[in-house]
Amino acid sequence: MQLQDILYSQGFGTRRVCSGLIQQGWVSVRLPGTGSEYSNCLDGASEFDLHGLQLRVQGVDWPCHEKAYVLMHKPAGTECSQKPSTYPSIYTLLPVPLRQRPTKSAVQGVQAVGRLDQDTTGMLLLSDDGQFIHRLSSPKKHVPKVYQIATKHPVGSSQVARLLSGVVLDDDPKPVRAASCEVVGSNRIDLTLTEGKYHQVKRMLAAVGNRVEGLHRSRIGGMELPVDLPPGAWKWLSKDDLVLLNQMN
């Protein structure tokens, strides 16, 4: 693939902008297995293999990925929307190339795999791979997601039983149930869900006579939110991470 096309595919701007970056000497490349040295390239038509290629664009190092798979530790007070209504968008926490990667859809950049409420924290996936987004977010795929919940009132055994057997929400006559519910404190439970409805956790707790005071998503599939990833930070997902995400228990 030509270097100018690689830059474009990674989200560094239009093809004209990418060509200009190369011509002005702002782009260096590092090939796999060549150590830590970058080589400046002034020819946008130079051919490179995308796999394993490292770029340095305007002094910033960038690993090339055919598709972007990203994990963010979503902080409170942010919205999972490109056009937020009240709070800052989670997309402002990402570097510009991830926000303007070209896609086949009308919307540029990576997209959140499902949404978390503005006051909910924790594990949020983003990608420009439509199949990946569908597989991880579709209720038909039954991908388990674990939520750590702080409740207003102590959680009793009868409430746990109802969450496991199923409660009816006001917009759907079909009961929704938790895959598991672990009481870890008088006002704290870990709830595992395999589908995602609008405000589902909050509405399920309300249906059993309780109230969510704090909500944090800690796991998707078999992957836990890394303890060393602070709120507002993000990381590329590794191949091992992608395997864990597909685990169903």
What tokens appear for 123 in the block? Answer: 């594990």
What tokens appear for 192 in the block? Answer: 């595992």
- Distant-in-sequence, close-in-space partners of 244: CB < 8 Å, separation ≥ 6: 221, 222, 223
Last residue of a domain, one of 23, 44, 63: 63
The rounded distance, in Å, linking the Cα atoms of 60 and 80 is: 26
Residues 120 and 158 in one domain: no
Q: Are 106 and 99 in contact (CB under 8 A)?
A: no
What tokens appear for 159 in the block? Answer: 């409430």
Residues 133 and 185 in one domain: no
Residues 52 and 153 in one domain: no
Q: Are 232 and 210 in contact (CB under 8 A)?
A: no
Q: Is 111 exposed, middle or buried (0-12, 13-18, 19+ CB in 10 A)?
A: buried
Q: Is 230 exposed, middle or buried (0-12, 13-18, 19+ CB in 10 A)?
A: exposed
Which residue has 């998503």 as its token pair?
217
Task: Count, in order, helices (H) and strands (E) of the chain.
Answer: 7, 15
β-strand partners of 217: 122, 147
Render each residue's pLDDT in the chain as its tens digit; 249 residues: 999 999 999 999 999 999 999 999 999 999 988 777 899 999 999 999 999 999 999 999 999 999 999 999 999 999 999 999 999 999 999 999 999 999 888 789 999 999 999 999 999 999 999 999 999 988 888 899 999 999 999 999 999 999 999 999 887 788 999 999 999 998 999 999 998 888 899 999 999 999 999 999 999 999 999 999 999 999 999 999 999 998 876
Residues 86 and 104 in one domain: yes
Per DSSP, the three-state class of 192 is: strand
Last residue of a domain, one of 63, 87, 111: 63
The boundaries of the domain holding residue 111 are 69-139+223-245
Residues 160 and 120 in one domain: no
pLDDT at 105: 80
Question: Which is nearest to 111 in space by CA: 66, 81, 143?
Answer: 81
Residues 154 and 212 in one domain: yes
The rounded distance, in Å, linking the Cα atoms of 4 and 112 is: 27
Count of other CB atoms within 10 angstroms of residue 34: 11
pLDDT at 195: 87
150: CATH: 3.30.70.1560
Residues 148 and 214 in one domain: yes
59: CATH: 3.10.290
Domain count of the fold of the chain: 3
Residues 116 and 159 in one domain: no
Residues 34 and 134 in one domain: no
Q: Are 84 and 90 in contact (CB under 8 A)?
A: no
Tell if the pTM clears 0.85, that is, is over it: yes
Where do the DSSP E strands lie in the chain? 27-30, 39-40, 54-57, 60-63, 69-74, 111-112, 121-127, 145-151, 167-169, 172-176, 180-185, 188-193, 212-220, 223-224, 234-236
Residues 180 and 200 in one domain: yes
Residues 208 and 231 in one domain: no
Q: Which helix (H) or strand (E) holds 151?
A: strand 145-151
Catalytic residues: 117
- Distant-in-sequence, close-in-space partners of 192: CB < 8 Å, separation ≥ 6: 144, 145, 146, 147, 178, 179, 180, 181
Residues 130 and 175 in one domain: no
